[in-house]
Structure 1
Amino acid sequence: MKNLMNKWNQLSLVKQIIIGLIIGIILAVTVPDLAKPITIFGSLFVGALKGIAPILVFFLVMSAISQHKSGHQTNMKSIIFLYLLGTFLAAVVAVAASFIFPVTLTLAAGAKDVIPPGGVVEVLKALLMNVVDNPVKALFNANYIGILAWALVLGAALKNVPDTTKTMISDFSDALTLMVRWVIKFAPLGIMGLVFDSIATSGLGVLLSYGQLLAVLIGCMVFIALVVNPIIVYVNIRKNPYPLVFRCLRESGITAFFTRSSAANIPVNMTLCENLGLDKDTYSVSIPLGATINMAGAAVTISVMTLAAVHTLGIEVDIATALILSVLAAVSACGASGVAGGSLLLIPLAASLFGIPNDISMQIVGVGFIVGVLQDSFETALNSSTDALFTATAEFAKWRKEGKEIIINK
């Protein structure tokens, strides 16, 4: 047993996760009833990550801001630009794909009890209200835009306190980071439980009738991950982008795919940025911010699902309106975290651009909940892995200008 544990510990975390994934699939297919108790591993893993992520972000950001020295340059402007550019290009790709491969649906009632936002103003208002949320409530509800805002303010207020106080805050931050590493060590068990639960309870049969819709949704997200994002990375670092792209997908995208939670994946992205040797003052702010505004996957979902409704109803769309939809989907996606239900509940907002009544657009939301078994997994994987990718891209672009060597796989 000791030799077996030693061999297990010698494997990389990614290989351990793949083994856990395979075991979960085998158990779900062969003995789903007998192995049902292992679902608790998935719940515990996601629960632990979600539990520690808010307080980790709060202390990391507060520590980084309080100890930030004047003249020390960060790349936040470049990162935010990349976030917004990536989200807009994702919407453009989704709109183009929806015209090339038009999807029509047999509408089914669903999601009757949820209320979509009334417009972009309402979405942005919800986002701004989250900024000024009670800090204790923000931590309790994992409201990351509120956590980020209060951590920035408190960090700025602590800039002139004695070094002993700053050291204490930094020690808390380091201790929380160590706790996250302990939790992530249980990722193989957690992924095993999550994939078992997903296959054993939902299966894939229910998705077959929506195969074309899923193909467009997933195809767009894969195209963005493997074509659009690499182009953005290459333009910035002028090196082969795929080693960095694949590392972010491997170390961040896999866990995000199965946890289906950007919040739960924040600690994973923090660890990835640390392993890449990035500036802690930058990524401690950019990663939680990315979980709020870097929403390429959400932009794809909003655009594709809206145009599926448009094609189903036989509505003609000109190029100008398609461009407006791309902008609206990108802006809405950035505000998705401020709306309960995320990207799916922003579909009626985009559908209103074409005069589609709310009762029909909410049926499209119902279809979204059905395909969400896979759509949400791919969306979260794209969103979260891109947070780390663009943070690293901005840092490496700075290194290139300074003549430093860029080492992606250490």
Structure 2
Amino acid sequence: MGETQSLFDRMASTSLVLRIIIGIALGAGLAVVAPDTALSFSLLGSLFVGALKAVAPILVFVLVASSIANQKKGQHTNMKPVIGLYLVGTLAASLTAVVMSFAFPITLTLVTNEASATPPQGIGEVLNTLLFNIVQNPVEALMTGNFIGILAWAVALGLALHRASDNTKRVVHDLSDAISNVVRFIIQLAPFGIFGLVANTVAQTGFSALAEYGQLLMILISCMVIIALVVNPLIVFTKIKRNPYPLIFQCLRESGVTAFFTRSSAANIPVNMELCKKLNLHEDTYSVSIPLGATINMAGAAITITVMTLAAVNTLGIQVDMPTALILSVIAAVSACGASGVAGGSLLLIPLACSLFGISADVAMQVVAVGFIIGVIQDSAETALNSSTDVVFTATACISAEDNGQAIPVTRKANV
């Protein structure tokens, strides 16, 4: 038992990022050398993602409720600037996608099979879904991973407990610490889970299916790289007035890599929580901003909606002027904020944007089907951008507030 515990301690003391990189390399290598054997390791990946998805709703509910219940009067949570950064970042992403699509116009070879899911019929339906998610039964919200509903009930419970006795607040705080410890254990198993995910993905799909849509994929990935390495750093620099890249790279390395392979912003919430704690950010801020970011901070989704819609427009030979393109970018940004409230995420919001140009649902759903083909890479990169940006903007708001004397000073480990 002692030797086993010692082995686990040695493993935990090694850089998690290094262990994840090793897991990626081993998984890819196994898939190339022995694809049949690699498929048998898919269970590791499924268990890891399943564990993260299972613990994330409970973690968010308890952590947000505890944070609000134990908040001291007059303490700043920095939520307004965080939300502002989320909205600015998402709009900037859709505008970048418009510019790239105009600079490098692409057309699609539309497929014949259509996606089976039903897209929303308008922006009203998206907003309607989000509103009803807010008032969903709390138990059902926890069971289905409805983070809008979980946030709403956690905030309500936290406000109700704010006037509770100190002993009651302490119990809630201890419960959040206990669940956080469970999360830390699961995160330590990330290299094994990612090994299984990579082995299964490479063995099943390879990259041959992506060749035909390489140009489309290149535009999507280029937009996301520009947002991650150019636009986001500029936004951060305007807020904190110092070199933003150490923070950017740390978030991409410790949040983006995991999100890339889990392909789920919800599953990556515990990872982001742990990173925020490592950066010594304010728990009252990140306990709310991280799950909120997984719901509304969707720069990657805005890029996907915009690029895919303009690709459909180019394919049909429709002329688009700049004012219409700007309207598209706003619609894409608003739709992206509601992507988590629609089954299928960003891809099923493409028909909504296509309707702006009078494109039929049949054609729009063929574009969605193309999105599913390239989804192995597109969805992974989109999730990595979305999830890592949640931490970037949360850290930016906390650092800016500290510099302006609006928050309790913290010792930051990020070299910013």
* TM-score bracket for the superposition, by shorter chain length: over 0.9
Contact 2:39–2:204 (CA under 8 A) maintained in structure 1? no
For residue 6 of structure 1, report the CA deviation from its aligned partner.
6.9
Task: Say whether 1:399 aligns with 2:402.
Answer: yes
1:69-91 C-alpha deviation (Å, 9 max, x unpaired): 22111100000000000000000
1:211-248 C-alpha deviation (Å, 9 max, x unpaired): 00000000000110000000001111111100000000
Q: How many residues align?
A: 410
Q: Give the match for residue 338 of structure 1.
A: 341
Residues 1:37 and 1:60: Cα distance change in structure 2 (over 3 Å): same
What is the identity, as a one-letter code, of the residue corresponding to 1:55?
A: I
TM-score normalised by structure 2 residue count: 0.96
CA distance in 2, matches of 1:389, 1:237: 12
Give percent identity, aligned residues only.
61
Q: Give the match for residue 353 of structure 2.
A: 350
1:249-301 C-alpha deviation (Å, 9 max, x unpaired): 00000000000000100000000000000000110000000000000000000
Q: Structure 1: 5+ residue runs without aligned partners?
A: none
Q: Give the match for residue 117 of structure 2.
A: 114
Q: Give the match for residue 371 of structure 1.
A: 374
Pick from 43, 54, 59: which aligns with 1:56? 59
Q: Give the match for residue 414 of structure 2.
A: 408
1:295-319 C-alpha deviation (Å, 9 max, x unpaired): 0000000000000000000000011
Q: Structure 2: 5+ residue runs without aligned partners?
A: none
What is the identity, as a one-letter code, of the residue corresponding to 2:319?
A: E
After TM superposition, the structure 1 stretch with the greater mean CA deviation from structure 2, 1-10 or 152-161, is: 1-10
Pick from 42, 46, 50: which aligns with 1:43? 46
TM-score normalised by structure 1 residue count: 0.97
1:51-103 C-alpha deviation (Å, 9 max, x unpaired): 00000000000001111122111100000000000000000000110010001
Q: Secondary structure at the match of 2:107?
A: coil
Runs of 4+ in 1 over 6 A off after TM superposition: 1-6
Q: Give the match for residue 295 of structure 1.
A: 298
1:149-204 C-alpha deviation (Å, 9 max, x unpaired): 00000110111111111111111100000000000010000010001111000110
Measured on the aligned residues, the alpha-carbon RMSD in Å equals 1.6
Task: Say whether 1:169 aligns with 2:175.
Answer: no
For residue 31 of structure 1, report the CA deviation from its aligned partner.
1.1
CA distance in 2, matches of 1:62, 1:6: 32
Q: Secondary structure at the match of 1:71?
A: coil
Contact 2:27–2:199 (CA under 8 A) maintained in structure 1? yes
Residues 1:24 and 1:155: Cα distance change in structure 2 (over 3 Å): same
Q: Give the match for residue 135 of structure 1.
A: 138
For residue 406 of structure 1, report the CA deviation from its aligned partner.
5.3
After TM superposition, the structure 1 stretch with the greater mean CA deviation from structure 2, 42-51 or 6-15, is: 6-15
Pick from 80, 84, 93: which aligns with 1:81? 84
Q: Give the match for residue 74 of structure 2.
A: 71
Q: Give the match for residue 217 of structure 2.
A: 214
